[in-house]
Amino acid sequence: MRAIGIDFGLVRIGIAFSDEMKILATPFDTYRTKDFDSDIEYFANLINEKKVDTIVIGLPKNMKGEEQEIAHKTKEFAENLQKKTQRKLIYIDERLTSVYVDRIMISADVKWQDRKKMIDKLSAATILQNYLDRK
């Protein structure tokens, strides 16, 4: 079994998966949201197809450690997904994840258009790797 990493957003959701030994996170895709029920159905099917037993989702917090506005939507999504799939749910503080990923891509001279396409799935991989490293 593997873990899925999710960087939740209202327009795009980054997706990453661990290997079966849960050592390494790999970016998978960036999903463009449709409507709540369709989004939950897509992720539930993906979780079943990829044999996932753990859902790791980034929880947006500000620099003081307080949850940001989108945290409510993130939790609503995560809890509905967990209820539908009956998988273990883990929240990971995602402070500065996107900034970190963007800086790495800038230092690698990745153009803005390419960074924009990759940032969500790379952020999901970073969130998931943070979890895997703590296990």
Percent of the chain at pLDDT > 90 equals: 68
pLDDT in tens, 11-29: 999 999 999 999 999 999 9
Range of the domain at 41: 2-134
pLDDT in tens, 45-61: 999 999 999 999 999 87
pLDDT at residue 48, rounded to an integer: 97
Instruction: List, in sequence order, every residue forming a beta bridge with 33; answer none if it has no partner.
Output: none
pLDDT in tens, 82-110: 999 999 999 998 876 776 666 776 777 77
What CATH number did the domain enclosing 104 receive?
Answer: 3.30.420.140
Number of domains, the chain: 1
